[in-house]
Chain A
Amino acid sequence: MTQLALVIDLNVCVGCQACVTSCKEWNTSGSAGPMGDQNPYGADPTGTFFNRVQTFEVGEFPNTETVHFPKSCLHCEDPPCVPVCPTGASYKRKEDGIVLVNYDKCIGCKYCSWACPYGARELDEQQKVMKKCTLCVDRIYDMTMAEEDRKPSCVKACPTSARLFGDVHDPDSAVSIAIRESGGYPLMPEWGTHPANHYLPRRKTRIKIHEDELERADNPLKVDRQLPKPAMSEPTLDDVTTW
């Protein structure tokens, strides 16, 4: 069974908001209708977004880290928003695990948004129906696009490759390897929703240089020379011959 999902690497996200704008641009021009904005140039603008990038400060000054945190629908494997929908407008696709809303069936009762602990759903004030991340379902299967473009719009936009896209049920996919090998984790595991989207934690980048790595290891002649060892600054055979 396929479960398409995003894996978001918090170690490399720089909080540039490119995924936010690219998501809005793609999805507002789609066949499902615009993502309405109200009062966009006024004092109190508001509108529908599928994806947000938030910023958190972790730790106490001066030992702080700024964590940029992209947030969209996590396409839960056990989505609490789906069974509560009275009309069946909210559903999880069997073939690829994407959680979608049928905008033609939605009555805008907002119950699904109450049932989502992550706040991933937003009521579109213009169309008066519930909207959410579609994982760019209208992109990823579009055979008229080049294969490298058949990815969610946010993934394509990310300049640091902080967003990976793939099948988390395929153990050999890039996303599964990233989750497995880089400590990928789900959000709010306490509610048993089993989010398909995972996040990769911050990692310390340290280089351990061993002393023998500072010497020319490809120079057996110098290593084998009689004691006492010559100083590091003395020329090696590499420096004086061209072989």
Chain B
Amino acid sequence: MHPAFSVIFLTTLIGAAQGLFLALFTAQSYAAFKLLPQPDAHAFYGQGSFLALLLLVAGLAASFFHLGRPERAWRSAAMWRTSWLSREVIVLPAFMGVVFLYGLAHWFDWHPVLMTLPGGLPVDPTAMLGVAGTLLAFALFVCTAMIYACLKFLREWHSPLTVANYILLGGASGFTLAAAFASQTAPELVSFLAGWAAIITLLGLVSRGASLYRNARLKPKSTLQTAIGIKHPRIVQKTQGFMGGSFNTREFFHRQPVAVLRGVKWFFIVAGFPVPLLLLVFGMQGATGMLAAAFIVQYAGLLAERWFFFAQANHPQNLYYQCIA
């Protein structure tokens, strides 16, 4: 497939935002159970939520560049019964709304006790919003990933590993960002967040590695024989029917030499996982520079990862467009 930068930025930015929100609420939950010190809620949760919201808005803005008719984008919420894209279009603004309210509640220190859990733990609006946001964050990961994973003939995508990768890679970058952010606003949480970021990055490496391993061994189900229905071992296309380009020759191929593909792959493997892992470990004591570098390097790696994700998918329609004349 042809990697579109609008979609690459959309998926990586909202992935990081979802991860960041999950990191904020994980920290809040641990703190509620007295497993972590209580940070400055105003700065860490409040500003952190607005940072997440900023990333979500940036991602949403990027997505509009993918549309031919962005002014009609509102229509895309209609077919949520069948379309994962439609579901994403509904879940994304819902998640943005919850993140906004969560940030607002923390910003204004709005903590009326709504109910008390059996252990005597008070539940305030931020906890309720946090739970709702967590559910929506995971729903959004699933929707985004299923847009790709549900296309069964794009076999590089049609795997549960796609969903796992979206969750783990988004989570990793979000937790790394949370660690870097905490080094300025809540230093007492840095080692906790950096630790989880390292663990999720490691899990992401395993799951992305598994999908790379799987995709390298895929045998195409569609061949020129099934594409035109002639059962002969040797079929060669002599012309695709036109000399100039068409949508079919532009949209479904990355048009890069194999060396570029291989280069991008190794860049994302190195920049997405081991380098940020090292920086996280070194920055665990609260070095903002290290942690910020970890996020920047990892985000660059994930941009490359998403580019490669699209470029690697081989659409069966390419069988019909192998030779100009």
Instruction: Please report A residues at the B interface, Cβ cutoff 8 Å.
Output: 17, 20, 39, 44-49, 52-60, 66-67, 69, 71, 80, 82-89, 105-111, 113-119, 121-123, 125, 127-130, 185-191, 199, 201-202
How far is B83's CA from A109's CA once the two chains are assembled, in angstroms? 13
Q: Is B147 an interface residue (CB 8 A)?
A: yes
Q: Is B31 an interface residue (CB 8 A)?
A: no
Binds A, one of B169-177, B189-197, B222-230, B298-306: B222-230
Which residues of chain A are within 8 angstroms of B235 by Cβ–Cβ distance?
56-58
Which residue in B84, B154, B221, B237 is a CB contact (below 8 Å) of A190?
B221
Instruction: Please report B residues at the A interface, Cβ cutoff 8 Å.
Output: 1, 66-70, 72-73, 75-79, 82-86, 89, 147, 150-154, 221-222, 224, 226-230, 232, 234-248, 251-252, 315-318, 320-321
Q: Is the CB of B68 within 8 A of A83?
A: no
How far is B76's CA from A37's CA once the two chains are assembled, in angstroms? 27
Which residues of chain A are within 8 angstroms of B151 by Cβ–Cβ distance?
80, 84, 114-115
Q: A57-B235, A114-B315, A116-B317 are in contact. List 16 more A-B contacts (CB 8 A).
A: A45-B243, A52-B240, A55-B237, A55-B241, A56-B224, A82-B82, A83-B82, A84-B83, A86-B78, A106-B72, A107-B75, A109-B67, A109-B68, A121-B247, A188-B153, A201-B229
Q: Is the CB of B68 within 8 A of A84?
A: no
> How near does chain B come to A133, taking the closest CB pair, in angstroms?
14
Which residue in A71, A86, A123 is a CB contact (below 8 Å) of B76?
A86
Q: Is the CB of B82 within 8 A of A87?
A: no
**Does more than half of chain A's interface fall in helix, strand or loop, or is it mixed?**
loop
Q: Is the CB of A107 within 8 A of B73?
A: yes
Q: Is the CB of B252 within 8 A of A106?
A: no
> Residue on A with the closest CB to B2?
A110
Which residues of chain A are within 8 angstroms of B240 by Cβ–Cβ distance?
52, 54
> How near does chain B come to A21, taking the closest CB pair, in angstroms?
12
> Residue on B with the closest CB to A121?
B247
Pairs A-B, 8 closest by C-beta atoms: A108-B68, A119-B317, A128-B68, A83-B82, A86-B76, A86-B86, A52-B241, A45-B244
Please judge, given known A-B contacts A55-B239, A86-B89, A114-B151, whether A107 and B78 are in contact too, CB under 8 Å: no
Q: Is the CB of A119 within 8 A of B321?
A: yes
Please judge, given known A-B contacts A57-B238, A107-B73, A111-B147, whether A202 and B248 are in contact too, CB under 8 Å: no
Q: Is the CB of B316 within 8 A of A87?
A: no
Q: Is the CB of B72 within 8 A of A107?
A: yes
Q: Which interface residue of B84, B150, B227 has the most chain A CB atoms within 10 A? A: B227
Please name 11 pairs of A and B residues whose Cβ atoms are closer than 8 Å in the assembled complex, sorted by A: A17-B241, A46-B245, A56-B228, A56-B236, A71-B320, A88-B78, A117-B315, A119-B315, A188-B316, A190-B221, A191-B152
Q: Is the CB of A118 within 8 A of B317?
A: yes
Q: Is the CB of A113 within 8 A of B78?
A: no
> How near does chain A come to B121, taking the closest CB pair, in angstroms?
41
Q: Is the CB of A187 within 8 A of B236?
A: no
Q: Is the CB of B69 within 8 A of A129?
A: yes
Which residues of chain B are within 8 angstroms of A87 by Cβ–Cβ distance?
72, 75-76, 78-79, 86
Q: Is the CB of A123 within 8 A of B68?
A: yes
> How near does chain B come to A56, taking the closest CB pair, in angstroms?
5
> How near does chain A come to B251, taking the closest CB pair, in angstroms?
6
Which residue in A45, A107, A114, A118 is a CB contact (below 8 Å) of B320?
A118
How far is B4's CA from A123's CA once the two chains are assembled, in angstroms? 15
How far is B246's CA from A48's CA once the two chains are assembled, in angstroms? 7
How far is B231's CA from A67's CA once the two chains are assembled, in angstroms? 13
Please judge, given known A-B contacts A56-B235, A109-B68, A185-B229, whether A119 and B320 are in contact too, CB under 8 Å: yes
Q: Is the CB of A188 within 8 A of B227?
A: yes
> How near does chain A come to B92, taking the closest CB pair, in angstroms?
12
How far is B226's CA from A18's CA once the two chains are assembled, in angstroms? 26
Which residue in A44, A107, A121, A187 is a CB contact (below 8 Å) of B227?
A187
Which residue in A20, A80, A129, A187 is a CB contact (below 8 Å) of B241?
A20
Which residues of chain A are within 8 angstroms of B318 by Cβ–Cβ distance?
119
How far is B89's CA from A46's CA once the two chains are assembled, in angstroms? 32
